[in-house]
A = this chain, B = another copy of it.
Amino acid sequence: MTVNGFMALALEQARKSAELGEVPVGAVVVDGAGGDVLAVGGNRTVEFDDPTAHAEMVAIRRAASLQGSSRLQGCDLYVTLEPCAMCAGAISLARIRRLYFGAYDAKGGGVEHGARVFAQATCNHKPEVYGGVSEKASAELLQAFFKERR
């Protein structure tokens, strides 16, 4: 599957989140070597009563549990929105190899904005980062969701 193919799966997760009334963000963890999808996840902070249940966290936790390891070495993460500081920290701790994200997030982002977690000298593991993948589709989902609610 291609980068856009994996991001399409992440977008599908984002749509599912929106249907549940959750902020539409979706994520997929892929085994970088074989290209297998290890886990998918959508934002579930409301359903799970869990402030940490962002799409990236849900997918990372599922993939790690399935792999039987707290490290996802050689794995790639696809997510429809620039990760926040919490998620960027988790991506580093999980040793994710490559991060592909959709829309940039000037307010909440922690990769290209704000805390810029991977840019810190003390950051122990920095993934390769590719932003703006399927950016338009990712952003439109979020815009439609918030337009309806505000």
Contact = CB atoms under 8 A, between A and B. Distances in A.
Contacts of A69: 49
Which of the listed residues A89, A90, A95 has the most CB atoms from chain B within 10 Å of its own CB?
A89
A137 interface: no
Q: How large is the interface on A (under 10, 10 to 19, 20 to 34, 35 or more residues)?
A: 35 or more
Q: Is the interface of A mostly helix, strand, loop or mixed?
A: loop
A52 B57 CA distance: 8
A22 to B, nearest CB: 10
A115 B85 contact: yes
Nearest to A56: B52
Interface stretch (A1-9, A10-18, A120-128, A141-149): A120-128
A88 B85 contact: yes
Interface of A: 45-46, 48-53, 57, 60-61, 64-65, 67-72, 84-90, 92-95, 106-110, 113-117, 120-124
7 contacts: A50-B64, A52-B60, A85-B89, A85-B120, A110-B117, A114-B122, A114-B123
